[in-house]
Amino acid sequence: MTVSIDEVLAELTLDEKAALTSGSGFWWTHAVERLGIPRIMLADGPHGLRAQPVQGDHVGIGGSLPATCFPTASAIASSWNPALLRSVGEALAQEARACNLSVILGPGINMKRSPLCGRNFEYFSEDPYLAGELAVGIVEGIQSKGVGTSVKHYAANNQETDRLRVDAQVDERSLREIYLPAFERVVTASQPWTVMCSYNKVNGLPASENRWLLTEVLREEWGFDGLVVSDWGAVYHRVPALDAGLDLEMPPKLGRSPQEVMAAVHAGELSEGLLDQRVRTVLELVSRGMHVLELDEEFDADAHHALARRAAAESVVLLQNTDEVLPLPAGASVALIGEFARTPRFQGAGSSQVNPTRVENLVDELSAAHADVRFAAGYGVGDTSNDAGLSDEAVSVARSADVVVIVLGLPGSYESEGFDRTHMRLPANQLDVLSAVAEANPSLVVVLVNGSTVEVDEVSRRAKALVEAWLGGQAAAGGIADVLTGRINPSGRLAETFPHRLEDSSSYLNFPGDSQVVRYGEGLYIGYRGYDKQRQDVAFPFGYGLSYTSFEMRDLAVSVSGDVADGTLTASVSVTVTNTGPVAGAHVVQAYIWDPESSVHRPVRELKGFVRVTLEPEQSTRVQLDLDQRAFSFWSERFGRWVVEAGEFVIEVGHHSRDLPLTATIEIGAPPLRPPLTADSTLHEWAADPIGRELLAEAAAEGAPDPLRDAELVEVVGTMPMSTLAAFGPMAPDYDTLDRLAAQWRERTDNPDPAARAAR
């Protein structure tokens, strides 16, 4: 565009405007050639590109250009390393530039509400703070190179079952504290070029038509200045969607949507001014992204593969290492078992499926790094007809070696975009081989490849070492070999809890819902928030992960500054970390908070800060984490805002959510919370409020009945509204007096009329 957006807007006809708010093909925006407005391309995402210049589809059926397949989100989230995500983001942007792609459709930052969600492999965590920080890393990495992102799927898209129709019924506090904060963080910190709305309904309205989500929260509260694009096919009613805040429908319903928009303008149902606003946002995106069309660049596939390998190694979580069976001793003979070692599963299926530039396998990579490796397939994936023979062979190879490494995992048919799992078990044929091999040689290392958590109790009982490698991308095998041999010291930490059993997960009773409705009955308590609140034992807790070295933390200090009243409260938490073991390694310092006395229910711990440090043996460092006011707040449904309550807060710092050896209790001062008193407030509420008590006493002095005169009676009738008590005769002031007292209360507390808030 050589002219300004204002000038273009003035020139556009109504049908051009209507067309611009829909795409022109599966991946392209609409071009207006006569005004020099080109089309730009948007394509998947999130852990590698799926650019389909010829034929578009949304589940990866058609071929796409070769691209580096980086570790999937579940994997790379385990790095707890936003800087690594930034580097991967920069590489993704370079690949986008090389194929003239302007916007990458990712990252996916939905919460892992249930272990069963088929797309969990595409999402970071069960914790919104961690997901938000990682999202900032990758978005800033991509956008620093002039390529846009699409943070998805906004919002409450936490299952695949009936994902286009299901109504996610979630209370506002759970949305604000669990399902929205990762979006809020990345929007306010990094202004992604686009946000993708989800398929599902949120509290009765499709996300694409949800004004509260798309306009009030996203734009008005968070200040989003980019474009809202629909998930592919998520627009059900074109005009209401446009009205609610959706700028761009993808892919377009050609021959239908633009016509509907024009008809609505002609009928006076949609103002042209509002349409102009949406068109302006589309033009701004095109103007941001069109420089990519001119580029003639390449990417360095070798360098990106090397980065994918480093990222894969950082994604590995060492869950168990009894008798220090890992790293593999240099002279040991190793039996490497499992079809997945030869035919790796390294990514998930669906719209995120990348056509990789190359793929490593563990047989080759471990053999290259270790002298004596003897392979046996052990089990079949898909075709299991020869399992008995494979198992016998695996047992004899296992007997012949000093150590056994067996790769187990979920076949692609177990988890994917498009459907949810129904259980968390590993395939039975793999568990059979595991038990046969464990009998033959107990010096056993299990490597898991899976996009979402599995039940691991049986595996961990049989294995000495347990290595969670996730779906680690095209270079996963190299990364795993690096960890097994000790070339790289594992530093991954779980971004999601491994429960013992599916039934322990708090969403179990309400997942995936039925009759097109899913109720988020567990509220805030997903992931460790649920397991911790219910004091459930888990297989491996959130934040957990071992290393080939050990770490200690000491000297926790917390200093509080700022003021709740003006939103500047900060708690600076510092702690000394020491590498107390024999080799260099990285550790993640994690800080959680708890408000032991609160007027509302709260989780017993919530992650509010973390930092990853790399230390040589015996090296120490002092790290500082700044927890801001939001870290101490909850979303008050009553007040419709974030609230910090005065009093004690506990800050726990340590190694993972269930090993937090350092604790400090701090006192936070905050303005008192004043739920507005009205005639319908209860006697207890009036009694709990100092000014309420004062007013009742004054009224009593003037001759009105004093409802506080008898403490025992107050206990019995205290939960009744004052207006009800007034009807009981001499138990409370009469209606007129109550109204007068409520008005006086508002004057003295400088509190607006509650009706004013209700009318917002």
Binding residues vs ligand BGC (CB under 6 A): 44-45, 58, 105, 152, 231-232, 351
Q: CA 184 to CA 186: how far, in whole Å?
A: 6
Closest approach, Cβ 713 to ligand BGC, in A, equals 59
Q: CA 327 to CA 339: how far, in whole Å?
A: 22
User: Which CB sits closer to ligand BGC, 516 or 572?
Assistant: 516
Q: CA 593 to CA 517: how far, in whole Å?
A: 33
Q: Give me 97's structure tokens.
A: 């530039």
504 in active site? no
Closest approach, Cβ 351 to ligand BGC, in A, equals 3
Cβ atoms of 353 and 60 within 8 Å: the answer is yes
Closest approach, Cβ 28 to ligand BGC, in A, equals 13
| Helix residue ranges, H only, 218-271 | 238-244, 257-266
Q: CA 689 to CA 676: how far, in whole Å?
A: 10
Q: Which of 556, 725, 534 is nearest to 650 (CA)?
A: 556
Q: Which of 300, 327, 608, 335 is nearest to 465 (CA)?
A: 327
User: Which CB sits closer to ligand BGC, 105 or 454?
Assistant: 105
User: Which CB sits closer to ligand BGC, 152 or 185?
Assistant: 152
Residues contacting 588, CB < 8 A, separation 6+: 80, 491, 493, 543, 545, 610, 611, 612, 613
User: Which CB sits closer to ligand BGC, 110 or 549?
Assistant: 110
Distance of CA 585 to the CA centre of its chain: 27
DSSP state of 55: -
| Closest-approach residue to ligand BGC (CB) | 351
User: Which CB sits closer to ligand BGC, 153 or 602?
Assistant: 153
Q: CA 471 to CA 460: how far, in whole Å?
A: 20
Closest approach, Cβ 510 to ligand BGC, in A, equals 22
Residues contacting 48, CB < 8 A, separation 6+: 67, 68, 69, 70, 92, 95, 347, 352, 354, 356, 473
Pairing assessment for the beta strands 227-230 and 641-643 based on DSSP bridges: unpaired
The residue annotated as part of the active site, out of 44, 162, 167, 231, is 231
Closest approach, Cβ 503 to ligand BGC, in A, equals 29
| Helix residue ranges, H only, 639-734 | 683-688, 690-701, 711-717, 722-727
Cβ atoms of 1 and 290 within 8 Å: the answer is yes
User: Which CB sits closer to ligand BGC, 232 or 375?
Assistant: 232
User: Which CB sits closer to ligand BGC, 195 or 466?
Assistant: 195
User: Which CB sits closer to ligand BGC, 52 or 491?
Assistant: 52
Closest approach, Cβ 647 to ligand BGC, in A, equals 43
Closest approach, Cβ 45 to ligand BGC, in A, equals 6
Give kind and range of the element (H or E) at residue 307. Answer: helix 301-315
Pairing assessment for the beta strands 403-409 and 444-449 based on DSSP bridges: parallel
Cβ atoms of 603 and 633 within 8 Å: the answer is no
3-class state of residue 492 by DSSP: coil
Q: Which of 612, 589, 489 is nearest to 546 (CA)?
A: 489
Closest approach, Cβ 105 to ligand BGC, in A, equals 4
Instruction: Give catalytic residues, as residue numbers.
Output: 231
